[in-house]
Chains A and B, each alone.
Chain A
Amino acid sequence: MNNPTIRNWLGFSTLALMLASLFMVFDYVPPDAEMGIAQLIFYYHVPLAWVAFASFGLVAIAGIFYLWLGDQLWDDLGYAAAETGMVFCTLMIIAGSIWAKPIWGTWWTWDSRLTMTFILWLMYGGYLMLRASADDTLQVARFGAVIGIVAAMDVPIVIVSVRLWRTIHPAVLVTKQGTHGLEDPRMVWTLLVSLTAFTLLWAWFLMLRFTQLRTRSRMSKLAGRIALATVAASDPK
């Protein structure tokens, strides 16, 4: 995991693909005929969504493994995933909002997907606040794992209920473009490239932050032992 070669490789391929996706969005793919140029935000908004949700799933899975196996490694992974996910979720909401303004005329709407994302964002926020507020690190790791699992389990139910909630109120606004709305194959390619780019970006962030947290965990263990040894060594002979 600490392998710098893999990390650099990941970093460079992320950079390459991100640049490629930028090029494709601005120079290659045709913007949607009706929605105009702002529609292009879609090509970053969708990958952000995928990564935000996937990261949350990772928090839950890491939580399960942590409770099951007890290795601090899993908690570090969960925390890294939560942080990364929060970044992407926030960006997704911002991008979605900026997308909505010119196209739907409003900064925010309780469209089912935006609502779902907002709730996910709140869950991330709650998780991170919990992590920040506790004093005992072992205890907070366990709490975090429980919350992560519970919240992730809830997500499917939230999706179902929010969607049901929205369909009853006849939406004045058409739901965002799904993949079936992509007529031009160039659109499909651009989306695929940016999806890959963001997945790599996610993996890279995760790797960076995870190894950092691992190092920090091990260092605090080491610091504890050194402190003990220092006390023992400085005992009057």
Chain B
Amino acid sequence: MGAHFGYLFAAYSIIFVAIFLYVMFIWRRQAALDAELRTLEARMAALTERPAAGAPPRPDA
């Protein structure tokens, strides 16, 4: 009955690879988000340092 082992192995491998890939996908997106966040923070800093004509809005909590 071990004849079908190939199928069993294929099924489980695909499942785990897919899970791994999805986690990777989420991780990469997170890195991009973090980079964007840093850009935004930098811009905020630039705004608050300058004696602005209009008061900068308070950031969302």
Residues of A within 8 A of B (CB): 22, 25, 31, 36-38, 40-41, 44, 48, 87, 90-91, 94-95, 98-99, 101-102, 201, 205, 208-209, 212, 215-216, 218-219, 221-223, 225-226, 228-230, 232-233, 235, 237
A–B pairs, 30, beta carbons within 8 Å: A22-B12, A36-B1, A36-B3, A37-B5, A38-B7, A41-B8, A44-B12, A87-B18, A90-B18, A91-B18, A94-B14, A94-B15, A95-B15, A98-B11, A205-B26, A208-B26, A212-B30, A215-B37, A219-B33, A222-B60, A223-B36, A225-B59, A226-B40, A226-B43, A226-B44, A226-B56, A229-B56, A229-B57, A233-B50, A235-B54
Q: Give the number of A-B contacts (CB < 8 Å).
A: 99
Contact yes or no, A87 B7, CB < 8 A: no
Q: Give chain B residues whose Cβ lies under 8 Å from the Cβ of A101.
A: 7
Number of interface residues of B (CB under 8 A): 34
Q: Give chain B residues whose Cβ lies under 8 Å from the Cβ of A216.
A: 33
Q: Closest residue of chain A to B54, judged by CB?
A: A232
Q: Closest residue of chain A to B58, judged by CB?
A: A225
Least distance between A25 CB and chain B CB atoms (Å): 8
Majority SS of interface residues in chain A? helix
Contact yes or no, A233 B10, CB < 8 A: no
Least distance between A97 CB and chain B CB atoms (Å): 9
Least distance between B55 CB and chain A CB atoms (Å): 8
- 15 more contacts with CB within 8 A, not counting A101-B7, A209-B26, A212-B30, are A37-B5, A94-B15, A98-B11, A102-B7, A215-B37, A218-B60, A219-B36, A219-B40, A225-B60, A226-B44, A230-B47, A232-B52, A233-B47, A233-B52, A233-B56
Contact yes or no, B53 A235, CB < 8 A: yes
Contact yes or no, A37 B26, CB < 8 A: no
In the assembly, what is the distance between CA of A84 and CA of B36, in Å?
Answer: 24
**Mask of B10-22 contacts with A, CB within 8 angstroms, 1/0:** 1110110011001
Q: Give chain B residues whose Cβ lies under 8 Å from the Cβ of A95.
A: 11, 14-15
Least distance between B18 CB and chain A CB atoms (Å): 6
